[in-house]
Each structure stands twice: as structure tokens, then as C-alpha cells.
Amino acid sequence: MRSLGIGFVAAATAAAVGFLMVPALILGAPLEPVMGFVQKIFYFHVPCATMLFLSTFVCAGGSIAFLFKGSEAGDRVAASAGELAVLFGLCTLVTGPLWGRKAWGVWWQWDARLTSALLLELIMIAYLLARRYGGPAGRKLSAALALFAAIDVPLVYKSVDIWRTVHPQTTVVPSLDPRMRPAFWSAFGLILLVWSVLLIVRLRLEGARAELASLRLDAEDMLETGQ
Amino acid sequence: MKNRNRWGRIWLLAVTVLAGFALAPALAVAQEFQKVSGPLREELPATPFVAAAYGFIWIALLAYVVLLARGVGRVRKDMAELSAKISEQADRGGPRP
């Protein structure tokens, strides 16, 4: 595997430092008058949900390239982004109920936002399972699933505006108190940085696996002709 | 004597009934909701929820990094094994790649 370079090391170091520094900014942000201290979960719950959406779109983009142009690179991008979608979806679906238990008094509500977000996570898990255990057609089957997941993303996002739910609406971030913005955008930047670093590493790993598989085939041919 | 016993029983019954009426409001008061005095106390502290949420994200990302590192290690090991196999074959006089 090729070296990841100084830019990657710098980004990874910045992400590690950020995980120690951003909580200080979040703690310094003013308290929300209705929910109180538990509203601090918002600062990393929303960026994680955004990364779930972004990963799903990247996965769908790679899948389209693979399905319609037969792009192997597109397939590798889709596989890497698919894993990140499941990872950040898990973070969203764990931090949300922790916030809800305190704010609403229940861990879970079967309302439009929560249910559609869970559905998106399940589709992305199905994507990974189809890819791993789907046999020869697994990659194409999973690519089709990624397209369904991408269609679900706008539905998840707009669900709070279309249906009446207990979840806060999409106007929360644009109307955020100016004193809360530095904490929110630094947390968002940190999660985006972590997402980018993980995607680069995962892509390199996928590339190295493809290279290894190709070398193995060449070596087998060579060993057979050599005997 | 018979009359005295009869009046005694009537007195006992009357005292019991009056005592019942007198105690009834007190029992009812004990079952009423208590009025809050001073600032409202939170039932669930928020700190464990915030700490659990942040901790979960940390652990999940760290676990994923460990999985990636294991994947990279496995690919490197396989590459080394393949190189060794090819070198061995080359030493035996087989064709070079």
C-alpha cells in the first residue's frame, strides 16, 4: 500500500486535536432555555446525520458510475462511502434517542423523521450485506440498493416539514443563535474532516485490495506456466 | 345493667364514626400531589446522556479506525507472502513476471 502522505497525517492530527478542543467550545456555548444541557447533543448529532446523507449520495454516485459505465473506481468509491454511511447512521441513531429520552421522555417515537432515518440505515446495511454475501451479482444488486437509499435521503430531510413530528424542524440550523454558531460549525468541520480522512483511507484500502487480487491472478498464471 | 351496656356500645360506635370523619381529610391530604417549593428539580440529569452520546461517537470512530488498520495489515501481509512466493519461483528458474 502506498504511503498516505503528509497531508493525510496533518488532517488526522487535526481531527484528533479537534476531538479534544471542540467539546470545550460546545460547553462554552449558551444553554438552550427549554431543553437545557441535553441540547448539547445537537452539536454532533446534526453533523453525523449530514455525513450519513453525504455518504449515501457519494455511494449512489459511485454506484451509478459502476452500473452504467462499468467503472471499477466508482464501485470502490461506493463501497467505501457505503461503510461510512452505516457508521455515521449508527452515530445518528444512537445520539438521537439519548437526546430524545431526556427531551421527550421516551427513547423512540415512530414518527416520520425517525422512521425514515432508520429505514435509510437499514437500506445501507442491506447494501453492505448484499455486497459481501450477494455472490457474483452482489455488486450490481448492492448498487441498485444504493440508488434506493439516495431517493430516501430527501424524504428523511423534508419529513419534519411535510408531516407533524416531535423532531425539531429543518429551520433549526439556519435560525441558530449567533452565540451557538461557532460551536456548531466547528463541530461540523471536525466531523467533515474525520469523514474525509476515513474515506481516503478506506479508498486506499479498497484500491490495494483490488491491486492484490490482480497481482494474485498474474502470479497464479506465472506459476502455472513456470511449472 | 343491660341498659348501661347498650349505651356503652352506642357511645363506642359514635366515637368510632366521629373519629373516622375526623381522620378522613387527613388521609385524603396524604394522597394529594405535593406543591413544589423552591426551584424545580430535574428528574433525569442531562450530563450522562450528553457524555454517552459523545463517548459513543468517539468509540464508534475509533473502532472503525482499528478495523481499517487491521485491513491494511492483512493486505500488507498478503502482498509480502505473494512476493515471497514469486521470488521462490524465480529462484527455481521459473519465468519472471
Cβ A89 vs Cβ A52: under 8 Å? yes
pLDDT at position A213 is 87
Cβ separation B75–A209 shorter than 8 A: yes
| Residue B42, beta-bridge partner list | none
pLDDT in tens, B25-39: 666 555 667 776 776
- The alpha carbon of residue A45 is apart from the nearest alpha carbon of chain B, in Å, by 8
Regarding predicted confidence, which is higher, A146 or B18? A146
Cα distances from A209 to residues A51, B43, B76, B95, in angstroms, run: 25, 53, 10, 25
* Phi, psi dihedrals of residue B40, rounded to the nearest 5°: -70, 135
Regarding predicted confidence, which is higher, A220 or A206? A206
pLDDT at position A144 is 94
Considering only CA atoms, which of A129, A114, A121 is closest in space to residue A148? Answer: A121
Task: Determine what percent of chain A is predicted with pLDDT higher than 90.
Answer: 57
| CB contacts, 8 Å: A23 with chain B | 54
Maximum mean pLDDT: which of A141-150, B34-43, B70-79 = A141-150
pLDDT at position B84 is 85
Cα dihedral value A194, A198, A199, A203, nearest 10: 160
Query: Mapping DSSP to helix (H, G, I), strand (E, B) and coil, where does residue A36 land?
Result: strand
Domain ranges (residues) in chain A:
42-226
pLDDT in tens, A77-113: 999 999 999 999 999 999 999 999 988 889 998 989 9
The DSSP secondary structure of A53-64, one letter per residue, reads: HHHHHHHHHHHH
For chains A and B, what is the number of CB pairs under 8 angstroms? 95
Residue A215 has pLDDT above 80, yes or no: yes
**Chain A residues whose C-beta sits inside 8 Å of any chain B C-beta:** 1, 19, 23, 36-38, 40-41, 44-45, 48, 83, 87, 90-91, 94-95, 98-99, 101-102, 194, 198, 201-202, 205, 208-209, 212, 215-216, 218-219, 222-223, 225-227
Residue B1 has pLDDT above 70, yes or no: no
Task: Give the lowest-confidence range in A14-18, A104-108, A177-181, B47-51.
Answer: A14-18
pLDDT in tens, A44-79: 999 999 999 999 999 999 999 999 999 999 999 999
pLDDT at position A205 is 92
Cβ A206 vs Cβ B72: under 8 Å? no
pLDDT at position B95 is 54
What's the CA gap between A114 and B4, in Å, rounded?
Answer: 78
pLDDT at position A48 is 96
> Where would I find the beta strands (DSSP E) of chain A?
none
10 Å CB burial of residue A80 (0-12, 13-18, 19+) is buried
What ipTM was assigned to the predicted interfaces of this complex? 0.87
Query: Mapping DSSP to helix (H, G, I), strand (E, B) and coil, where does residue B82 land?
Result: helix
Task: Give the lowest-confidence range in A13-17, A186-190, B12-16.
Answer: A13-17
- Taking only Cα atoms into account, the Rg of chain B, rounded to an integer number of angstroms, comes to 43
A157 C-beta neighbours (distance < 10 Å), count: 16
Considering only CA atoms, which of A84, A35, A32, A22 is closest in space to residue A56? Answer: A84
Average pLDDT, chain B: 80
Q: What letters, b where the CB count within 10 A reaches 16 and e where it falls short, cover B8-40? A: eeeeeeeeeeeeeeeeeeeeeeeeeeeeeeeee
- Taking only Cα atoms into account, the Rg of chain A, rounded to an integer number of angstroms, comes to 21
Q: B10: pLDDT confidence band, cut at 50, 70 and 90?
A: confident
Cβ A61 vs Cβ A73: under 8 Å? no
pLDDT in tens, A157-205: 999 888 888 888 888 888 888 899 999 999 999 999 999 999 999 999 9
pLDDT at position A24 is 86
